[in-house]
A and B are shown apart, each in its own frame.
Chain A
Amino acid sequence: MTAAPHLAPSALHTPGRRRRPLAVARMQLINLPVQLGMPWLILALAFAINLVIFALVPDPPAGEPKVTGGLLSIYIFVVVAHLVTMTQVFPFALGLSVTRRDFFTGTALFVLAQAAVQGLLLTLLLVLEEATGGWGMGLHFFGVPFLVQQNWVLQWLVYTVPFLLFSFVSILAGTIYKRFGQLGMWTASIGLLLAGGIAAVLLTWQQAWPAVGRFFSDTPAAVLFAGYPAVLAALAAGVAYLFLRRATV
């Protein structure tokens, strides 16, 4: 037997205070098969189905591109994934003595990394799609026409930033549920519905719909899919953190 097998581990480890947000991010990585594997599996399935369908159906009239919305599935998936982050991982982490601040910082780091990596993968797949002439059949699966940019950095942003928006809005929703319960969810949903309804009424009354249409058609796609979503994502993240500060499990 070696001597002193019970050397105090505390003497060997530095307290993990500054590492805590990273530990939270790594905790999300434990879920990697769910966080990254599942969405790409689903996207791959959607892609395969689209390939088969577009191979079977007759070509559309000349000039019309073969377009599909299959790409949206991967964005929907981050919404579901981060609802789980708030309803399951947050109570677990708080139970393991993680502060709400460290949990939020770690989760935000994970969301940023997740969005960046997925944005990059989509960008690379678009390169492949364009190089193969739309997988040999002119299919625009990744290069949804209004999303395609001339500049690869902009292209990456257009893919990446919506991930951030979807993720943080989902985190905000999950936080509202944790902090205010079902009543909070109902209040938020009804409030959102009312706000949308009132906006629609005002726009119709002021006959301002064409202006709205012009806004969407005139604004460059990079601003519409990266600029504004970045602002909204930051806003959602900020509000989520404020609510989380007093959330219990």
Chain B
Amino acid sequence: MTAVRMRGVVKRYGGFTALDDVNLELRENTVHGLLGRNGAGKTTIMQILTGQGFETAGEVEVFGLHPYENPTVLDRVCFIREAQKYPDSFRVRDALSAAAMLYPNWDADLAASLVEEFHLRTRQTIKKLSRGQLSAVGVIIGLASRAPLTFFDEPYLGLDAVARQLFYDRLLTDYAAHPRTIVLSTHLIDEVSDLIEHVVVIDKGRILMDEDADVLRGRAVTVTGPAAAVKAFAAGHTELHREELGGFLRVTLEGADPDTRLRSEGLEFEPVSLQQLVVRTTQLATEPRRENHDGREVAAR
């Protein structure tokens, strides 16, 4: 079943095109990673899917219906934004009790245990929380809402590494017990790469990559070795990235299988992390001429 469907979606702000012909389908009961640089259009997509923003053109369906002003859809949707606003006078407990009233599947026990684990004090005024604690409030609402479709838009801002791991762990545990559709928008791709089952990469308002994570994990490989041998191996494959240092060459190739027999020629093969693949693919889309350069590239920083 499909939870989300976007067809030919365009969003313009005045003369600026934020989304350009976006076609997207998100499977139900899957953890999706929505990845992309700042300003790529991730938040815009999520705003449109939650009825908070309006598309300029195209078709949008969430659980088969348009989300705008649609309580049937929105009762099943939770959108936790990095920039979620809370009334100044609200304490942590006020925000949680408001969420409890609004989300039909709210789990108060889960919320209470998360409050403890994130070291929040429910009587504290939200306005006075640190950035990390503020993020924790959003994370708690997002998890405890148990909404069939939950969006997390960079929910970790200011959270320390331990708290982020706590979020990932709790997300995974709760997802296993209560399968639902989760869309995780993040910059920290390495941290969530074990979590994501499906990857969508967006750049400058266009979908760049839309694949299952398992497919992507084997998609690229990095080869290092003497320049001549690496060039011979690389011939015929799409080159995502190249670094050269002295007589040694290091290239990231798409669609190439590591050939261990070539180790004798001094070639070394390394798997490419999801983060590297996303970064390289995005860079390639930004500077398409890069792959035709030959030997001129200096090691990228």
The chain A residues found within 8 Å of chain B, CB to CB, are 6, 8-10, 13-17, 19-20, 23, 26-27, 30-31, 33-34, 84, 88-89, 91-102, 245-246, 248-249
Contact = CB atoms under 8 A, between A and B. Distances in A.
A27 B101 contact: yes
B104 interface: yes
Nearest to A246: B54
Nearest to A17: B71
A142 B133 CA distance: 46
Interface of A is mostly: helix
B87 A84 contact: yes
Given A9-B146, A95-B85, A98-B74, 15 more contacts: A8-B178, A9-B105, A17-B71, A17-B72, A30-B94, A30-B97, A30-B98, A84-B87, A88-B88, A92-B86, A92-B87, A95-B81, A248-B52, A249-B52, A249-B85
B69 A99 contact: yes
Contacts of A13: 104-105
23 contacts: A8-B105, A9-B105, A15-B75, A16-B104, A17-B71, A17-B72, A27-B98, A30-B97, A31-B90, A34-B89, A84-B88, A88-B88, A92-B84, A92-B95, A94-B52, A96-B99, A97-B50, A97-B77, A97-B102, A98-B74, A99-B51, A248-B47, A249-B52
A75 B180 CA distance: 48
B81 A97 contact: no
Contact of A98 (B81, B87, B102): B102
B78 interface: yes
Nearest to B149: A97
A240 to B, nearest CB: 16
Interface in B98-113: 98-99, 101-107
B238 interface: no
B177 A6 contact: yes
B286 interface: no
A94 B84 CA distance: 10
Contacts of A23: 98, 101-102
A20 B90 CA distance: 19
Contacts of B141: 96
A96 to B, nearest CB: 5
A61 to B, nearest CB: 47
A248 B53 contact: yes
Interface of B: 47, 50-54, 69-72, 74-75, 77-79, 81, 84-90, 94-95, 97-99, 101-107, 141, 146-147, 177-178
Interface of B is mostly: loop
Contact of B104 (A10, A89, A102): A10
Contacts of A84: 87-88
Given A89-B87, A246-B54, A249-B85, A95 B79 contact: yes
Nearest to B50: A97
A23 B98 CA distance: 8
- For the complex of A and B, 8 pairs with smallest distance between CB atoms: A23-B101, A88-B87, A97-B74, A91-B85, A15-B104, A30-B94, A99-B69, A10-B105
Contacts of B87: 31, 84, 88-89, 92
A176 to B, nearest CB: 18
Nearest to A100: B69
Contact of B102 (A16, A91, A248): A16
Contacts of B89: 31, 33-34
Nearest to B105: A10
